[in-house]
Amino acid sequence: MNPLDRYEPLVDDVDAFRAACDRPLPSVVRTNRIKASPDRVRDAFETEGVAHDPVGWHDGIFRLPDGNPGGNWPHAHGWTHGQEEVSALPALALDPRPGDRVWDACAAPGSKTTQIADLMDDSGTVVANDNNLGRLSALRHNAERLGVTNAIVTNQDARNFSLKPLAFDAFDRALVDAPCSCEGTCRKNPDVLEQWTMDHVHGVAGIQKGILTRAIQATRPGGTVVYSTCTFAPEENEAVLDHALAAEDCEIVGVDLPLETAPGVTEWDGETYDESVTRARRVYPHHNDTGGFFCAKLRVGGSEVAR
Amino acid sequence: MSDPDGGSPDDTAPTNDGGRFDRLPETAADREVAGRASREEVLDWWETRFGIGREVLGGYGFWEKGAGKVWVFNGEAADPSPVEAIGMTFLRTRQEHWKPTTRAVQRFGSHATRNVVELGSERASRFVAGEDQDLPEWDGDWGYLIVSHRIAGASAPIGVGLYLHGELRSVVPKGSRADLPVLEE
Ligand SMILES: C[S@@+](CC[C@H](N)C(=O)[O-])C[C@H]1O[C@@H](n2cnc3c(N)ncnc32)[C@H](O)[C@@H]1O
């Protein structure tokens, strides 16, 4: 079975959705402002003769119609990082500030960690964690290439993450960019559709719930947690949020994303979810000609404590 | 660890623990672990060698993990830190000639005022591909240099070169070498 079939009742335009899912995705790079400005990257692409188009919704992100995002001078200098457009959304929703203490719970290979460091002007602390050591070495390589100096890398299971090795006992913000069924990446990697199983959905949903609740616990009262996936499955999206709302002191807040999005769904497969999951954002491939994505922003409960 | 001064084997002087990060001592006088560079020595080295002063690097912390590998970090960390990485690799010490990393030079090298060799576009492409080249016209110091080129209206550091006997060796690590076009000048 093609898992995309099951999401047809959720989308506004089924034909456009299926057609977009069949098209390959263009190569996209994000400017790394730790080392260069978007203007300088554009100048360098022009001198080198690298075709590049602005995405329109972000001045530092370019589509490269001829592909090969790693084969040019800006890449060699660490001025750019190959990263899908939708993958840039969670860090924008997280909105980290210079000086913050940030946890990236599922961080490898570091596209979002390095973007978070950039948004923090490479100051404060971003703790990049992943339970997969091999993928962490890719993260370290990316962080070095991009010149990130404010990251600490840890190798723990995020579900029972311990802050003991750190110099503080709570984060200001946390990102849970969770492991998932990944149908949203089918334009880049069609194999994900063949490997998809309902058993995996249920298994990974349990892991997602464990990581999201830990992230909420590890964030100070009044802090921000962002939850994101690249799946369309409500079991891995709204159901995970619904679980966190019941288990932890938190609320879902609105998030302004610079792309066309659809609200989270409150009913699926006989289940109903808390009304506030409609504040979460779904990104379908046909809306902005991107990959598929899901992103929600939570505020941790309790009164704000200044540190 | 063997003690060059012949101390007893049960000597309890702290040694370098390769499994964790330790913050560098402030000065040589604060040094407890033999052979460990101090923060002042690291800052002095960048200043002396490349003219990159405390106004650029003074706000960062420096940490050692593994013998001689110094990392640069701009955040908060416990000391010692049993983690996988802290900031980025920065400088190789505990050897006669200290060696900056390619990524440190790319990150901070634009502040350098000496021991920078700016290559023309054809030479820059050969350098980033990992090629060694003759450079008889260089009349500066021998040893590790910052190698840069002009791109998008300004000079940008590419990596580290080793200058010896009229030759500039590319020490760009294998994984970072690339065949890149010669930019129009
Ligand atoms: C979607 S990927 C993260 C992509 C990454 N945020 C980026 O932008 O480059 C999900 C990651 O979660 C990690 N992961 C899976 N289970 C985990 C767990 N229990 N604890 C920590 N990380 C986990 C996987 O190894 C994988 O690297």
* Same domain for B132 and B64: no
* Same domain for A247 and A155: yes
Q: State the closest ligand 1 atom to the C-alpha of A132, by its place in the atom list counted from 1.
A: 25
If phi over 0 gives left and psi between -120 and 50 gives alpha, with beta otherwise, what is residue A177?
beta
Q: Judging by beta carbons within 10 Å of its beta carbon (0-12, 13-18, 19+), is residue A295 exposed, middle or buried? A: buried
Q: How confident is the model at residue B6 (pLDDT cuts 50, 70, 90)?
A: very low
Indicate which CATH number applies to the domain containing A50: 3.30.70.1170
- Give the mean model confidence (pLDDT) for residues B49-74: 96
- Comparing alpha-carbon positions, the chain B residue that sits nearest to A40 is B152
**A85-130: pLDDT as tens digits:** 999 999 999 999 999 999 999 999 999 999 999 999 999 999 999 9
pTM: 0.96
Q: Where are any strands of DSSP class E within B81-153?
A: 85-86, 88-92, 99-100, 116-118, 133-134, 143-151
Q: State the closest ligand 1 atom to the C-alpha of A115, by its place in the atom list counted from 1.
A: 8
* Same domain for A167 and A95: yes
Total domains present in chain A:
2
Cis? peptide before B80, omega within 30° of 0: yes
* Domain with B134 in it: 115-176
**A161-212: pLDDT as tens digits:** 999 999 999 999 999 999 999 989 999 888 999 999 999 999 999 999 999 9
**B119-130: pLDDT as tens digits:** 999 999 999 999
Which has the higher per-residue pLDDT, A208 or B185?
Answer: A208
* Contact check, Cβ <8 Å, A44/B178: no
What is the Cα–Cα distance from A130 to A144, expressed in whole angstroms? 17
* pLDDT recorded at residue B19: 83
* Same domain for B126 and B88: no
* Contact check, Cβ <8 Å, B77/A166: yes
Q: Tell me which residue of A176, A173, A117 sits closest to A144, measured CA to CA.
A: A117
Chain B positions touching A34 (Cβ under 8 A) are 107
Distance from first CA to last CA of chain B, Å, rounded?
54
Cα–Cα distance list, B6 to B1, B11, B28, B32 (Å): 11, 10, 21, 17
- CA of A195 relative to ligand 1 center, distance in Å: 18
Query: Chain B: nearest CA to A134, how far in angstroms?
Result: 12
Contact A181, A236 (CB under 8 A): yes
* Same domain for B149 and B89: no
Q: Is residue A150 in a domain?
A: yes
What is the Cα–Cα distance from A162 to B5, expressed in whole angstroms? 41
* Same domain for A48 and A9: no
Residue A186 annotated among the catalytic residues of the structure: no
- Give the mean model confidence (pLDDT) for residues A1-21: 94
Q: State the closest ligand 1 atom to the C-alpha of A112, by its place in the atom list counted from 1.
A: 8
Indicate which CATH number applies to the domain containing B126: 2.30.130.60
- CA of A78 relative to ligand 1 center, distance in Å: 23
- Comparing alpha-carbon positions, the chain B residue that sits nearest to A149 is B87
Which has the higher per-residue pLDDT, A65 or B67?
Answer: A65
* Same domain for A158 and A269: yes
* Contact check, Cβ <8 Å, B158/A77: yes
Indicate which CATH number applies to the domain containing A161: 3.40.50.150
- Biggest CA–CA distance in chain B, Å, is 64
* pLDDT recorded at residue B1: 36
* Same domain for A248 and A132: yes
Whether the per-residue pLDDT at B138 is higher than 70: the answer is yes
Query: Six-digit token pair at B22?
Result: 């330790």
Q: Is residue B155 in a domain?
A: yes
Q: Is residue B135 in a domain?
A: yes
* Same domain for B145 and B78: no
Q: Is residue A207 in a domain?
A: yes
* Contact check, Cβ <8 Å, A154/B76: no
What is the Cα–Cα distance from B166 to B10, expressed in whole angstroms? 49
What is the Cα–Cα distance from A177 to A175, expressed in whole angstroms? 6
Q: Is residue B28 in a domain?
A: yes
Q: Is residue A30 in a domain?
A: yes
- Give the mean model confidence (pLDDT) for residues A49-63: 96
* pLDDT recorded at residue B14: 81
* pLDDT recorded at residue B7: 39
Total domains present in chain B:
2
Q: Is residue A95 in a domain?
A: yes
* Same domain for A153 and A103: yes
Whether the per-residue pLDDT at B67 is higher than 90: the answer is no
Q: Is residue A60 in a domain?
A: yes
- CA of A33 relative to ligand 1 center, distance in Å: 24
* Domain with A65 in it: 26-82
* Same domain for B86 and B28: yes
* Same domain for A99 and A117: yes
**A211-222: pLDDT as tens digits:** 999 999 999 999
* pLDDT recorded at residue B112: 98
Contact A145, A131 (CB under 8 A): no
Q: Is residue B5 in a domain?
A: no
Query: Six-digit token pair at B7?
Result: 């101390």
* pLDDT recorded at residue B16: 81
Q: Is residue B93 in a domain?
A: yes
Q: Which residues pair with B151 in a beta bridge?
A: B154
Last residue of a domain, one of B33, B67, B99: B99
* Same domain for A110 and A78: no
Chain A positions touching B77 (Cβ under 8 A) are 125, 152, 166-167
* Same domain for B150 and B86: no
Pocket probe mutation, ligand 1, options A94, A127, A131, max atoms within 8 Å of Cβ: A131
Q: What DSSP string runs through A211-236?
A: HHHHHHHTEEEEEEEEEEES---GGG
Contact A108, A135 (CB under 8 A): yes
Nearest to A167 among B74, B77, B107 (CB): B77
* Contact check, Cβ <8 Å, A153/B83: yes
Chain B positions touching A145 (Cβ under 8 A) are 103, 176
Q: How confident is the model at residue B12 (pLDDT cuts 50, 70, 90)?
A: low
Whether the per-residue pLDDT at A19 is higher than 50: the answer is yes
* pLDDT recorded at residue B168: 98
Q: In 3-state terms, what secondary structure has residue B161? A: strand
- Give the mean model confidence (pLDDT) for residues B65-73: 94
* Same domain for B123 and B84: no
Whether the per-residue pLDDT at B8 is higher than 50: the answer is no
Task: Tell how far CA A207 is from the center of its chain.
Answer: 17
Query: Six-digit token pair at A93?
Result: 């929703």
What is the Cα–Cα distance from A68 to A29, expressed in whole angstroms? 10
Task: Tell how far CA B132 is from the center of its chain.
Answer: 20
Q: Which residues line ligand 1 (CB under 6 A)?
A: A 87, 106-112, 130-132, 135, 157-159, 177, 179, 207, 211
* Percent composition of chain B: helix, strand, coil (DSSP 3-state, to 5): 20, 30, 50
